[in-house]
Amino acid sequence: MEISFLQDSSLQTITNKKVKVAVAKGDGIGPEIMDATLRILEAAGANIEPEFIEIGEQVYLSGNTSGIKAEAWEIIDRNKVILKAPITTPQGKGYKSLNVTLRKSLGMYANVRPVNALHPYVQTNFPNMDVVVVRENEEDLYAGIEHQQTQDVIQCLKLITRPGCERIIRYAFEYAKAYGRKKVTCMVKDNIMKLTDGLFHKIFVEIAAEYPEIVNNTQIIDIGAARLSANPIDYDVIVTSNLYGDIISDIVAEIAGSVGMAGSANIGANVSMFEAIHGSAPDIAGQKIANPSGLINAAISMLAHIGQTDTADKIKNAWLRAIEDGYHTADIYKEGVSVKKTSTSEFADAVIDRLGLSPETLKSSNLSKGGGQIRIPEYIRRDEHKELVGVDVFIDWKGSSPEEIGNALNRVNAFNLKLKMITNRGVKVFPNGLKETYCTDHWRCRFVSIDAEIEIGKPVYKVIEYEQVVELLSKLYHSGFDVIKTENLYEFNGKRAFSLGQGE
Ligand code: NAD
């Protein structure tokens, strides 16, 4: 059966017509490994037609801070599939990460990185590991929303969305189904980030229930990462948010002994991009010794994506056989294991010579036996009832006594609002804070309705009007407070939708 990840019927589909692919040769070792990869694709009879695009260092240096020209956007928009070699981001301020720009502008929400050991041909302590990391690609701390709010405090917003979680988690389960994987592990830190990571975990549990045939479990990211590096064999598919996924996927590639050999896919509903996980390796550029395997594996994922699974298997099996036969580039060459230290193009020749052969000891590739298409349904928004029950007012104040600011705020006649508490870096410092708590110039002051029952153990909030907030801000301003920002406190369907202060 053929697998296609194509989700939009307007995309180029599986026909005899050549599939046009936007190809970026990249910088540093990029052109060398891309030439090797394209030669293999051609020799294997891949039904594709490359259309070259210009991105990267030269485009940056020509004054284009995004590193990509308008013509390249047009070609990507036409073709929807990108095969990309690594690029060099010039040092210095003002250059935006092209990878982040491409992923986010084109809605490539899933980063999929399969990594398996090639023991004994590539050195690893984990000969049987075979892990796929499915990383959310657009949200989380990578939203890039940062502000300096006071002299001493800078904030980065962590944005986790329900549609984002639903899409990536469903993708992970559908991937597991398509590739006959048995288990999906979710990694979060919801013991601390109860709302953001809590949402990811909650949605994981909801969606996992729809796939009873696939084992699921959840781990806290710190212990999860530790166990993964000690016992990768216990893991199959891992799904996680952007930052954790970034870290986890590098750990997985490193312990497999093959950072230079793994490819990754960035999957979107309309556009998808395939690349090696390593960078442009300027230290060895031009020496013709780079290992093209990362990009070859990316190209194999690309062929599976566009439905050319037979060709994908043919290349993967020839590549495995070349590794088995001891044809190794310098980065993986090992006396006694390797037979020949190859240049980049000699390695490509070794793969081409083995097209049609299968590995003898390593597990053969069988993408053609995959199980169907990955289609992620449109997100359906369920309306919830939202009520405003308070406001957190953040104040820049360089004093150090919580009592002083607390008492001053208590004296502000705040239009039927009362001060519930003050925190500093999330820890409650007023009323009844501890004198040991270090306080910065960044004070979060929580106001709720004067009728809220906050004195009892489980507070009962009362609905307020936004006009009260506006009035409060005006009063604070006229009393000389430097308000940095506010965060409204809401209940959704009657449930508190904001975190408590630590120690509250
Ligand atoms: P790198 O991955 O380019 O290199 C790290 C080390 O690994 C180097 O010693 C290099 O020689 C070696 N190496 C990497 N790929 C190899 C290969 N295929 N064969 C043999 N050896 C290989 O990381 P870096 O040095 O931190 O970054 C260099 C440049 O690459 C930077 O400008 C960075 O921004 C860029 N980069 C681009 C991408 C991308 O385009 N996707 C990703 C990471 C880094």
Give the pLDDT band (50/70/90) at residue 258.
Answer: low
CA of 279 to the centre of ligand 1 (A): 3
- The per-residue pLDDT for 91 is 81
Contact 72, 54 (CB under 8 A): yes
Q: Which residues line ligand 1 (CB under 6 A)?
A: 29, 86-89, 99, 260, 275, 278-284, 290-291, 294, 331
Single pTM value for the model:
0.90
pLDDT average, residue stretch 314-323: 97
Nearest to 263 by CA among 85, 23, 48, 55: 85
Q: Which of 25, 189, 420, 428 is catalytic?
A: 189
* Amino acid, res. 19: V
pLDDT at 436 over 50: yes
For residue 68, the 8-state DSSP code is B
Average pLDDT (34-51) is 98
CATH 3.30.70.1570 given to domain 386-496: yes
Q: Is 494 left (phi over 0), alpha (psi -120 to 50) or beta?
A: left
Query: What distance in angstroms lies between residue 352's CA and the mean position of ligand 1's atoms?
Result: 25
Rounded Cα–Cα distance for residues 274 and 265 (Å): 5
Query: Domain 125-256 adopts which CATH fold?
Result: Isopropylmalate Dehydrogenase (3.40.718)
Q: Between 257 and 406, whose confidence is greater?
A: 406
Q: What is the distance in A from the centroid of ligand 1 to the CA of 87?
A: 9
Atom of ligand 1 at shortest range from CA of 86: 40
The SS3 of residue 112 is strand
Give the H or E element holding residue 393.
strand 386-396
Task: Say what the alpha-carbon torsion angle 221, 227, 230, 231 is, to the nearest 10 degrees.
Answer: -120
**Average pLDDT, stretch 463-479?**
96
Q: CA–CA separation, 127 vs 133, rounded Å?
A: 18
Task: Give the whole-angstrom CA distance, residue 99 versus residue 56.
Answer: 10
Confirm whether 190 is a catalytic residue: no
Q: Check if the beta carbon of residue 444 is closer than 8 Å to that of residue 424.
A: yes
Catalytic residue among 8, 77, 152, 222: 222
CB-count burial class (<10 Å; 0-12, 13-18, 19+) for 360: exposed
- pLDDT at position 40 over 90: yes
User: Does 1-111+262-379 match 125-256 in CATH topology?
Assistant: yes
Q: Is the pLDDT of residue 103 over 60?
A: yes
Residue 122 — very low, low, confident or very high, per pLDDT cuts 50/70/90?
confident
Q: Which H helix or E strand runs over 101?
A: helix 98-105
- Distance from the alpha carbon of residue 181 to the mean position of ligand 1, in angstroms: 30
Catalytic site residue from 27, 140, 246, 313:
246
Q: 222 catalytic, yes or no?
A: yes
Mean pLDDT of the chain: 92
Between 503 and 24, the more confident residue is: 24
Mean local confidence (pLDDT), 469-481? 96
Residue nearest to ligand 1 atom 26, measured at CA: 279
Look at residues 122, 56, 40, 42 and name the one whose alpha carbon lies nearest to residue 344. Answer: 40
User: Closest Cα to atom 32, ligand 1: which residue?
Assistant: 88
Which residues have C-beta within 8 Å of that of residue 319, sequence separation ≥ 6? 40, 293, 296, 297, 300, 351, 354
Atom of ligand 1 nearest to the CA of 331: 20
Nearest CA to ligand 1 atom 43: 279
Asked if residue 373 has pLDDT above 80, the reply is: no
Percent of the chain with pLDDT over 90: 80
The CA-CA-CA angle for residues 270, 275, 280, to 5°, reads 140
41, exposed or middle or buried, with CB in 10 Å at 0-12, 13-18, 19+?
buried
3-class secondary structure, 157 = coil
- The tokens for 347 are 């390695």
235 is catalytic: no
Coil/strand/helix, residue 306:
coil
Domain positions in the chain: 1-111+262-379, 125-256, 386-496
90 CA: nearest ligand 1 atom: 32
Q: Specify the pLDDT at position 3.
A: 33
Q: If pLDDT is split at 50, 70 and 90, which confidence band does 307 have?
A: confident
Of residues 236 and 305, the one with the higher pLDDT is 236
Instruction: Say if residue 382's pLDDT is above 60.
Output: yes
For the stretch 443-461, pLDDT in tens is 999 999 999 998 777 889 9
> How many angstroms separate the alpha carbon of residue 345 from the centre of ligand 1?
19
1-111+262-379 carries CATH number 3.40.718.10 = yes
Between CA 339 and CA 332 the distance in angstroms is 12
- Helix axis angle for 344-353 and 309-324, nearest 10°, is 110
User: Is the predicted pLDDT of residue 8 greater than 80, yes or no?
Assistant: no
How far is the C-alpha of 127 from the C-alpha of 104, rounded, in Å? 35
pLDDT tens-place string over residues 277-294: 999 999 999 999 999 999
CA 372 to ligand 1 centroid distance, Å: 35
Residue type for position 311 = T
Query: Is 189 a known active-site residue?
Result: yes
- Provide the terminal-to-terminal Cα distance of the chain, rounded to the nearest Å: 57
